[in-house]
Structure 1
Amino acid sequence: MQRLTILLSLLFLLSTSTTFTRGHNITRILGKHPSFSTFNHYLTLTHLAGEINSRTTITICAVDNAAMSELLSKHPSIATVKNILSLHVLLDYFGTKKLHQIREGTALAATMFQATGSAPGSTGFVNITDVKGGKVAFGPEDNEGNLDVFYVKSLEEIPYNISVIQISKVLPSDVAAAPTPEPSAMNITDIMSAHGCKVFADTLIANPEASKTYQDNVDGGLTVFCPLDDPFKAFFPKFKNLTASGKVSFLEFFGVPIYQSLAMLKSNNGIMNTLATDGQKKFDFTVQNDGEDVTLKTRSITAKIVGTLIDEQPLAIYTIDKVLLPKELFKAAPTPAPAPAPEKEVADAPKSSKHKKPSSDVVPSDSPADSPDGDVADQTADDNASVTLYGGRLVAMVLSLCSGLLLL
């Protein structure tokens, strides 16, 4: 009996040495409920599904096909539909139990509409109130306090991760339902100029060919990564030295001819073509996650997305903290030759009394300070290997002990 207890303990240790996590997929969740197929379809069409899947601690207030038909009968643009549906995505977890146990009977929840920056003031918040008779009512902040939308039922709950509930009808909001300008009517340089990218925008305006390329691609989908003013000002002297065609290619390099939300960028890491890509002239960069951040990499520069100016399909404009340098126009700095290794002293050689002490200001070439990441590559490799080896030894040790106990 004692051996069995030890064996079970060891097996428990082995089973808990690795943890597994599972993300959610709103498309699959709603796919189990045919009466919500229209709502599900428009979450995908507006790219909100990707945004939802990239978040945790979230609540989706879904409406059935009849409610969606009423909304669509007004023929809103796809951008307006996105605003309305983003108001139905609460950035907090509200399961059935929590809805009926709201402190002081009411709560104010931020929504994805508020997070986009498209909602002025607090119009992107939703009031949730536990009313008499066990009902829970919902109402946007710009609805003059009217609470005429009610909780119907829970569709699926993954506690504290995602809750998908049905509400009785579409949340009424004049702000979210307001007509949005057609993409071609948007002035992308005005948007950039008003939000910290004026130097880049002015440079683009001054180049009619590149400017036209941007504007021609808006309707079909366009993502722009505009450098902030300070880094672009510092770079501008180099820009002026480019040839005329080089200037066009350089400016077009910051645009991508498809719409990419931030969630899509996070889930679609890899090489991305640009407006400047043309056959042998690749003019591409690599999108890569860095924790919660999204970075853009060329051979010599890594820039980080630091802000969102607009994200309304089919147009997204993000700010980046550095100026990307395409390898087709800028050569990467040559790697410095390694310093010669110091000559080894002969063990029995007499030491001169006039031997100079090395200056404390000189840093050896193999010092960790020379590593771009602050770590010596060999040391990092050894550390990683030791972790892997330790895990392997743990499993081997547990299995060996189990085998030994069974043979006793």
Structure 2
Amino acid sequence: MAAAAQRLVAAVVVLVACLALPAARGLNITAMLNGYPDYKMFNKYLSETKVCDEINARESITLLVLGDGPMSTLVLDADQSLAGIKNALRLHAILDYFDPKKIRGLPDADTMTDTLYQAGGDAAGKMGNVKISTLDTGKIAFASANPGGKYEATMVKAIKQMPYKLSIMEISAPIEFDGLFDTPSATNLTRLLEKAGCKRFASLITSTGVLKTFEDAMDKGLTLFAPNDDAFDAKGAPDVKKMPSADLVTLLKYHALPSYNPKPTLKTVSRAMRTLASTASGKYNITVDTRGDAVTLNTGVDKSRVAATRHRRHAGVLHTVDNLLMPVELFGEGPAAAPSPGRSGARPVAVGRGRGLRRRRRRPTRRRSRRITRK
């Protein structure tokens, strides 16, 4: 009887663990939409703009999707600009749960809702909001909060609802307003860095000419990991004043990725990522480690946490880090962990002949690498 009871308890524990898995894994909006071929283009741009990662990171969201026809209209209205399309997709992601039943029960004729676009700080005033209403015809309709915005987008059908977490509804037309697709021609990167407490990094990229490289990359996508001013005085940090100019340029480029990666995207990465210093042979890559909400960058020499996101706009994002990111190709490998007793990994070498031969361990060869003086 005792054994049977133990087996029953074990089975219940396994069942509870299995039921808990979906909640732990969270959303994967692109995987959900893969089962609906009518939204192939919408899903494609969710991935290309990384808006999918922002959606997946939310605890409660309503996504207004477009079929391929209306989505083609949106792409043309944006002049095929990925930054403009990104603005529009974020406008179609409402930061609350709404299903048809909830909408029909709303007391006001016009209910204002926040969106990813409004939350990102790119909208002027409340222009990034979306208003919801039930028309006299009984149709559920959506419009921009722009004064005079007309209800031209109506609900076609409810696609998927996960109460209080996710609602996906198809709408008949894109929600747009004048200025939605406008993107700045340039961003004053040095000013952003100085405001973020990274004045020394800003000065270095300016004096070395790396600033121009970063600015050119922002058109296609740039993720910048900017060390704060204290990072340059930290123990073990290199003396940048004594570094050869070519090595200093490489070090600075190592602090940037040639793609747009907000924190929700970084949390999904489980591989080495290319930096602006990376070579075709895979040198100067960086590894991202995630634990809970914390994101850590591993260079092979040291680690640094992503402290804060100071700026996120269109194709560029600025994160601050606590330490300089030192690539192993310039500074050699970091200290290895102490080996476990009896498992040093060294290959035993026989000395002498016959029985009772003595065995000694051959010292592991050390990898030679160019080292730069550190403090």
Compute the TM-score of the two structures, normalised by the length of structure 1: 0.68
The root-mean-square deviation of aligned C-alpha atoms, in Å, is 3.6
SS class of match (1:20): helix
Q: Is the 8 A contact 1:309 1:318 kept in 2?
A: yes
Q: Distance in 2 between matches of 1:160 and 1:54?
A: 15
Partner of 1:13: 12
- The code of the aligned residue for 2:70 comes to A
1:310 aligns with 2:309: no
1:182-222: CA deviation from partner (whole Å, max 9, x where unpaired): 6xx555435434544333122200112x3344345445543
Cα distance in 2 for residues equivalent to 1:321 and 1:7: 50
Match of 2:341 in 1: none
State the match for 2:288 in structure 1.
287
The question of whether the paired residues in 2 share the 8 Å contact of 1:197 and 1:227 is answered with yes
Q: Partner of 1:50 in structure 2?
A: 53
Would the aligned equivalents of 1:123 and 1:175 in 2 still touch at CA under 8 Å? no
* Deviations 1:371-393, CA, capped at 9 Å, x for gaps: xxxxxxxxxxxxxxxxxxxxxxx
Which of 87, 97, 100 lines up with 2:101 in the alignment? Answer: 97
For structure 2, the residue ranges without an aligned partner over 5 or more in a row are 339-375
Distance 1:173 1:113 in 2: 13
Q: Give the count of matched residue pairs.
A: 330
Deviations 1:159-200 (A, max 9, x none): 22221102232112224232x246xx5554354345443331
Summarize deviations over 1:292-325 as a string: whole Å, max 9, x none.
2322133333222411413423x33322233333
Q: Map 1:6-405 onto structure 2 (within 5 A).
A: 10=9, 13-18=12-17, 19-22=19-22, 23-74=26-77, 75-102=79-106, 104=108, 107-144=111-148, 146-178=150-182, 180-181=183-184, 185-186=186-187, 188-208=189-209, 210-232=210-232, 238-278=239-279, 282-298=283-299, 299-313=301-315, 315-330=316-331
- Residue 103 of structure 2 contacts residue 140 of structure 2 at CA under 8 Å; is this kept in 1? yes
Q: 3-state DSSP class of the match of 1:73?
A: helix
What secondary structure is seen at the aligned counterpart in 2 of 1:267? coil
Structure 1 residue ranges without an equivalent (≥5): 338-408
| More helix per residue | 1
Cα displacement string for residues 269-289 of structure 1 (whole angstroms, at most 9, x for unaligned residues)? 333332233478943432111
The answer as to whether partners of 1:231 and 1:322 remain within 8 angstroms in 2 is yes
2-structure distance, mates of 1:268, 1:335: 24
Structure 1 residues 321 and 131 mapped into 2: Cα distance closer, same or farther (>3 Å)? Answer: farther
Distance 2:328 2:96 in 1: 44
The 2-side partners of 1:287 and 1:305 are apart by: 14
Return closer, same or farther for 1:217/1:105 CA change in 2, 3 Å cut-off.
Answer: closer
Query: Cα gap change, 1:245/1:51 in structure 2, threshold over 3 Å: closer, same or farther?
Result: same
CA distance in 1, matches of 2:41, 2:198: 38
| Separation (CA, whole Å) in 2 of partners of 1:63 and 1:71 | 9
Equivalent residues of 2:254, 2:276 under 8 A apart: yes
Q: Give the SS at the match of 1:71.
A: helix
Three-state SS of the structure 2 residue aligned to 1:206 is: helix
